[in-house]
Amino acid sequence: MWKLTLDATQQQLIKQLEASRDPWQTSGAYEAERYEEPPAARQKKGVSLRKSVAHAAHASWKPPKNRPSPVDIVVAGNAGRQQHLVPLRMERMSASPFAFLRGAAAVMAWDLSHTPVTGTQVAIDGDAHINNFGLFGTPQRDVVIDMNDFDEATFGPWEWDLKRLVASVNVAGRENGLSRRERRFAVMQTVAGYRLNAIRLSTMGLMELWTLFAYAERPPKNLKVPKKAWAMIQKVVAKARATTNETLLPKVAQRRHDGGWRFVETPPILTSVDDGTRKKVITALVEYADHLGPAYRFMLHRYGVADVVHRIVGVGSVGTRAYLALLFGNGDSDPLFLQIKEATVPAHAPYLPPLQMRVDHDGFRVVAAQRMLQSLGDPMLGYTTIDGRPYYVRQMKNMKASMPVALMTGTPFNFWAFLCGALLVRAHARTGDVARIAGYCGDGQTLDRALADFAEDYGDQTERDHAELVQAIKRGRVEAARRAAPDGTGGLLARPRRAVVSALAAVAVGRRRATTAPPSRHRACGGGLATASAALHRRGARLGRKCHSAVPQGRGASCPSAARAAAACSRRIGRAPAPAACGAAVR
């Protein structure tokens, strides 16, 4: 198995970052008489950084000669996971290049350690791809737009988060059928959002900065929001408001004849645990309660655990230990779902100076990072330990919703990319010198263009890496699960890619687009996508909207992804979804 050995470039990087980390970014004592230079002086320092690291230095990606196989890095990352779930992780990562990018944070971490940095550090998310931004409920029951998923969070170069974000925008754009020119524009919008908001935040008071919230139901005063984008966000707001502990309860649990509530198993997502594991999880919640603030700790005392299950989450997290606990407070109408998830060492850690935090616990690291990066975090965030392994605890799906990135093109996609960039720099500004970052980024588009070039190169790299994993699975080098289709046949079920999704999305927004799904790139699809596409053609025609999409004909396994896409698109054009009965998984 591949083992990480730091090369000369990575060793030099660690020395550079160790020397440039600000003292207040460590766990040292509060310096009550600390002096902060004025923003203008710090902006000048940022401008001067362009002499040593020009914007053009970020403009390309060429893999070093000593770059390890991405499959080797991914397989090495399976160590310590629940081995019976590793094949499922490999299957999910092999579904598409974007799925691979999501699950391969460790691969990109190695790559980013060979890219230029200015030395300015912040608390980084570590996995800031476009799907890790969404809508969340606040303790005051407002809905805000913010970052999500802080498993890989640590202190590091701000450029790493921004480069992962622009790479994800590029790869998602490819799978949504965007042309190279359209992808470039979307990436430049992402960087513009980061850069322009950095300038705005650089002169803002720290207290004001830490109380900035992106309310999803209030149009921002300093930004013009396109109507289509705002309408899409409001639909997701409605979904978030409808996603609560109360609405989740009947979907995942049922009352037994003895009056108690139990989870309904849905393998492999939700599976029961033995009595020993159940007791360990419940005991861990006692430690967790001790780490909550006084008010919420007192509140939690009134809740009791009804059931515990194991839960599989995400793509890259598959195989890590995660549990879901169902608690009840003031009767059956007062459920509370808590996710207890294993916290592992962040992917960027090997390439950074040691992280100094008040508590040496990866669960604490995740919780602390989320508190620092999110504007209004989950009040139930906490950490605990089970069998010597660190865990963090959070609410599950309470007023949370994701943007339908896979169905977004045009103005909504570009605006969401811009907004993600703006939110990312707001998070960075809370824990780093945003004036210096703003000075480095500047008010021109040179950095935008440079990172657009990088994103295109890294999009190509991601496609090559994904293809290598697919080949490794085909040759038996890597074991991947094969999901059973609803009709009983086997097949790797993946979401529709590129031209197919683009055609469906075009119907959703009433656009005319001619797309062709190359037979060599997709498995034949007879029922699911063909039926969905034909139905959407008919519905679009009745409304006077045209969509020219070529869907490969043939037979194959069922494609629920096509059904979901068809249903979403049909709703957008104002008709009931067509039944996408059977088709093939598109790879």
Picking from 430, 359, 433, 351, the residue whose alpha carbon sits closest to that of residue 23 is: 433
- Going by C-alpha positions, the residue among 78, 71, 103 that lies closest to residue 320 is 78
Residues 6+ apart with CB under 8 A from 18: 353
Give per-residue pLDDT as tens, 155-195.
Answer: 999 999 999 999 999 999 999 999 999 999 999 999 999 99
Task: Answer whether residue 243 is part of any domain.
Answer: no
Contact (CB, 8 A) for 158 and 120: yes
- In this structure, the answer to whether residues 139 and 18 fall within a common structural domain is yes
CA dihedral 186, 190, 195, 198 (to 10 degrees): 150
**Rounded Cα distance, 132 and 150, in Å:** 9
Amino acid at 287: E
Is residue 492 in some structural domain? no
Q: Do residues 56 and 131 share a domain? A: yes
Per the structure, the count of domains in the chain is 2
CB atoms within 10 A of CB 16: 15
Q: What pLDDT was estimated at residue 167?
A: 98
| 147 in Cβ contact with 135 (< 8 Å) | no
Q: Are residues 433 and 512 in the same domain?
A: no
User: What residues does 213 pair with on adjacent strands?
Assistant: none
Q: Is position 316 within any domain?
A: no
The overall longest dimension of the chain from CA atoms, in Å, is 73
Residue 394 placed within a domain? no
Verify that 526 and 564 share a domain, yes or no: yes
* Rounded Cα distance, 385 and 390, in Å: 5
Is the dihedral angle over the CA atoms 432, 435, 441, 444 positive or is it negative? positive
220 to 4, 199, 226, 428: CA distances (angstroms): 45, 17, 12, 20
Find the helix or strand (DSSP H, E) in which 382 lies: strand 382-386
The answer to whether residue 353 sits within a structural domain is no
Whether 561 and 525 share a structural domain? yes
517 and 554 share a domain?
yes
Asked whether residue 428 falls in the same domain as residue 534, the answer is: no
- Tokens 């009840």, residue located: 328
Residues forming beta bridges with residue 156, ordered by sequence position: 122
Decide if 106 is inside a domain.
Answer: yes
Kindly state whether residue 354 falls inside one of the protein's structural domains: no
**What does each C-alpha distance from 120 to 160, 207, 327, 428 come to in angstroms?**
11, 21, 43, 11
Would you state the pLDDT for residue 483? 54
For Cα atoms 315, 516, 575, give the angle at the middle one, nearest 5 degrees: 75
pLDDT at residue 579, as a whole number: 36
Residue 56 confidence (pLDDT) = 98
The range of the structural domain enclosing residue 564 comes to 498-572
Same domain, 506 and 419: no
Segment 379-393, tens digit of pLDDT: 999 999 999 999 999
3-state helix, strand, coil in the chain (%, to 5): 45, 15, 40
Q: Which of 523, 551, 526, 525 is nearest to 537 (CA)?
A: 551
Contact 339, 308 (CB under 8 A): no
- The answer to whether the CB of 578 falls within 8 A of the CB of 531 is yes
Same domain, 543 and 425: no
What is the phi/psi pair of residue 390, to 5°? -80, 140
Residue with tokens 């950074």: 352
Give every residue of the chain whose pLDDT is below 70, as ranges.
27, 483-587
Asked if residue 58 and residue 202 are part of one domain, the reply reads yes
* Residue 423 and residue 541 share a domain: no
Select from 456, 472, 488 the last residue of a domain. Answer: 472
169, 41: one domain: yes
What pTM was estimated for this model as a whole?
Answer: 0.84
Q: Is residue 550 part of a domain?
A: yes
